[in-house]
Amino acid sequence: MRTQVAIVGAGPAGLLLAHLLHRSGIDSVVLERQTREHVERRIRAGVLEHGTVEVLREVGLAGRLDRESMVHHGLELLFEQTAHRIDLTALARQQITIYGQHELVKDLIAARLDTGRPLLFSAPAVGVSDPTTASPTVHYVADGQEHELHADVVAGCDGFHGITRPACRATTYTRDYPYAWLGVLAAAAPSSPELIYAHHPDGFALHSMRTPEVTRLYLQVAPDEDLAGWPDDRIWTALATRLDRADPGWRLTTGPILEKGVTGLRSVVTEPMRHGRLFLAGDAAHIVPATGAKGLNLAVADVLVLAAALREWYATGSEHLLDAYSRTCLARVWRVQQFSAWMTAMLHCSPDPFTQRLQLAQLRDLTRSTAAATSFAETYTGLPMPTEWSTGPDQS
Q: Which residues bind ligand APR (CB under 6 A)?
A: 8-14, 31-34, 39, 44-45, 101, 124-125, 157-159, 161-163, 282-283, 295-296, 299
265 binds ligand PHB (CB under 6 A): no
In degrees and rounded to multiples of 5, residue 62 shows phi and psi of -110, 15
Q: What is the CA radius of gyration of the chain?
A: 21
Burial-class residue 162 by CB neighbours within 10 Å (0-12, 13-18, 19+).
buried
CB contact at 8 A, 31 and 18: no
C-beta of 8 vs 235, nearer to ligand APR: 8
Burial-class residue 15 by CB neighbours within 10 Å (0-12, 13-18, 19+).
buried
216 binds ligand PHB (CB under 6 A): yes
**Range list of β-strands (E), 227-307:** 257-271, 274-275, 278-280, 286-287
CB contact at 8 A, 12 and 104: yes
| Residue 125 interacts with which of ligand PHB, ligand APR, none, CB < 5 to 8 Å by class | ligand APR
C-beta of 298 vs 308, nearer to ligand APR: 298
Task: Name the minimum Å distance from CB 170 to ligand APR.
Answer: 16
C-beta of 138 vs 293, nearer to ligand PHB: 293
DSSP 141: E
Beta bridge partners, 140, equal 125, 147
| Residue 282 interacts with which of ligand PHB, ligand APR, none, CB < 5 to 8 Å by class | ligand APR
288 binds ligand PHB (CB under 6 A): no
- Which region among 25-33, 230-238, 285-293, 349-357 touches ligand PHB (by CB under 6 A)? 285-293
Binder of ligand PHB out of 10, 39, 45, 235 (CB under 6 A): 45
- Which region among 48-56, 63-71, 284-292, 305-313 touches ligand PHB (by CB under 6 A)? 284-292
- Which region among 44-52, 131-139, 230-238, 350-358 touches ligand PHB (by CB under 6 A)? 44-52
d(CA 199, CA 194): 16
CA distances from 302 to 4, 11, 14, 238, 252 (A): 19, 13, 10, 38, 38
Task: Name the minimum Å distance from CB 391 to ligand PHB.
Answer: 26
199 binds ligand PHB (CB under 6 A): no
CB contact at 8 A, 68 and 40: no
Least Cα distance to 96 among 68, 71, 127 occurs for 71
C-beta of 46 vs 51, nearer to ligand PHB: 46
Helix segments in 122-231, DSSP class H: none
47 binds ligand PHB (CB under 6 A): yes
293 binds ligand PHB (CB under 6 A): yes
Q: Which residues bind ligand PHB (CB under 6 A)?
A: 45-47, 195, 206, 208, 216, 290-293
